[in-house]
Amino acid sequence: MVDPENFYAVVKTDAYGHGIKQVFDRLFAQGQRLFCVDSLDEALQIRHKEAQIFIMSPLCPSDLVKACDEGFIPFVSRQKEIEVLSSLARPPEIVFHCDIGMNRFGFTPSQRDAALDKIQKNALKVHSVSTHLAQAEDFVEEGSQMALSYDDFLKWVSDHFPKEVKVQALNTKGLLSCIKKNIKPVGCRIGLGLYGWSGSKFLDSAVSLKPVMRFKAPVVAIKDVQKGQTVSYGGLWTAQRQSRLAIVAVGYGNGLAGLEFKFFELGPDLAPVVGQITMGYTILDITDINKPLNVGDSAVVFGSQKALDKDLQLYWAMTAMGRLNPRKCI
Ligand SMILES: Cc1ncc(COP(=O)(O)O)c(C=O)c1O
């Protein structure tokens, strides 16, 4: 559905916690050539003469110049960057980045004409025109604010660039929304989907994905509590019956902070998390678990489709847990 020249693999933030070098090597071996990162440092880690590396985040002037010297392609999203790049002896290739509602980086509709004018006067070569969707499920909904801003952006691009100019605009949810609605997609920068998540239950049916990351932690103790006893800090959970608990050696020090885990997986069963997660431990209620459990067995914290209800938490989980814990690539 998307040809290789329009498919950008987002490997920023250590490839969402999966290991930037490992993910790059694996994708490169499979023929992927376009990669997006957020910093010069990340770009240098995966430098390869046959790959095009795009740096999406704004860079300070010295990094911007170095990025261009190294052959990386920066996103240009501020006037200051145009000035810095215009002073280079050889005009570099850039991505012209527009803001259509994120209100983060990029030229807004009222800024983009002047910015483009300056880019053309200084002979900077536009590789592609980019934007990023703030509400990627809404942009296919006719009449939604996101759809109106997106259509206005595409019209502006077609009014100001030659027909062949590349557009990169869709993230995982954007691409899946197109697939679901049978709309031909423009260029895609895909992160979440590469790592096996759609980011939305509504979009799960668009393609079948399997999570790449599986995060396991050992059970270090098993204990029984009586009805009425409370568990963990603040006594936030009270046993409603005599209960068997498993203490798993994983906590917010391993990247679980702020994540609302309801269950961990124990073999085929889901064991509810009870009480407050602590720095190094999480407590599971295993009273109803059928399979006998022993100290030393593993609980799967992340990797199950049921692990986290909230889409955004998938990003937090992968980036935090993947980077804070020992990783084994298989
Ligand atoms: C500018 C930009 N493009 C693309 C992506 C990829 O988004 P997703 O992981 O939802 O596919 C991101 C992720 O945060 C991003 O910041």
pLDDT digits 0-9 by tens, 4-41: 999 999 999 999 999 999 999 999 999 999 999 999 99
Domains, in order of start, for the chain: 4-206 (3.20.20.10), 215-324 (2.40.37.10)
Partnered with residue 298 across adjacent β-strands are 218
Enumerate the H helices of the chain as residue ranges: 12-17, 20-29, 40-45, 61-69, 79-86, 112-121, 145-160, 172-181, 311-324
**Of residues 260, 264, 252, the one with CA closest to residue 218:** 264
pLDDT digits (tens, 9 = 90+) for 56-103: 999 999 999 999 999 999 999 999 999 999 999 998 999 999 999 999
- pLDDT for 311: 80
Of 6, 171, 172, the residue with max ligand 1 atoms within 8 A of its CB, to mutate for a pocket test, comes to: 171
Q: Write down the pTM of the prediction.
A: 0.94
- Residue 136 CB–ligand 1 contact under 6 Å: no
Angle between helices 79-86 and 61-69 (to 10 degrees): 50
**What confidence tens digit (pLDDT) does each residue in 100-134 have?**
999 999 999 999 999 999 999 999 999 999 999 99
325 alpha carbon to ligand 1 midpoint, in Å?
A: 23
Sign of CA dihedral 47, 49, 51, 56: positive
* pLDDT at residue 229, as a whole number: 98
Report the relative pairing of strands 52-55 and 34-37 from DSSP bridges.
parallel
**Interatomic CA distance for residues 179 and 166, integer angstroms:** 20
Task: Give tens-digit pLDDT for 243-291.
Answer: 999 999 999 999 999 898 999 999 889 999 999 999 999 999 999 998 8
> How many Å lie between the centroid of ligand 1 and the Cα of residue 130?
12
CA of 199 to the centre of ligand 1 (A): 12
With beta carbons less than 8 A apart as the criterion, state whether 42 and 20 touch: yes
Residue 102: both structure tokens together? 């994120």
Taking the centre of ligand 1 as the mean of its atom positions, its distance from the CA of residue 179, in whole angstroms, is 18
Q: Using an 8 Å Cβ cutoff, are 127 and 53 in contact?
A: no
Task: Evaluate whether 218 touches 266 at the Cβ level (below 8 Å).
Answer: no
- Dihedral sign, CA of 139, 142, 144, 149? positive
Beta strand extents in 171-297 (DSSP E only): 187-190, 215-225, 230-231, 237-238, 243-248, 263-266, 269-274, 282-285
Residue 130, ligand 1, Cβ within 6 A = no
- Eight-class DSSP state of 202: G
Rounded to whole angstroms, the Cα distance separating 8 from 27 reads 11
Spacing, Cα 310 to ligand 1 middle (Å): 17
Q: Is 97 in the pocket of ligand 1 (CB under 6 A)?
A: no
Between helix 145-160 and helix 112-121 the angle, nearest 10°, is: 30
- Whether residue 17 has its Cβ less than 6 Å from ligand 1: no
pLDDT value for 308: 79
Atom of ligand 1 nearest to the CA of 199: 10
Q: Indicate the Cα dihedral angle 213, 214, 217, 222, nearest 10°.
A: 150
- Residue 304 pLDDT > 80: no
Q: What is the structure's pLDDT at 11?
A: 98
Ligand 1, atom nearest to 130 Cα: 1
- Residue 192 Cα: closest atom of ligand 1: 9
What pLDDT does 139 receive?
85
Task: Give the per-residue pLDDT at 305.
Answer: 65
Q: Which pLDDT belongs to residue 264?
A: 94
Q: What is the pLDDT of residues 145-195, one digit of tens each?
A: 999 999 999 999 999 999 999 999 999 999 999 999 999 999 999 999 999
- Asked whether 12 and 37 are in contact (CB, 8 A), the reply is yes
Residue 30 makes CB contacts below 8 A (sequence gap 6+) with none
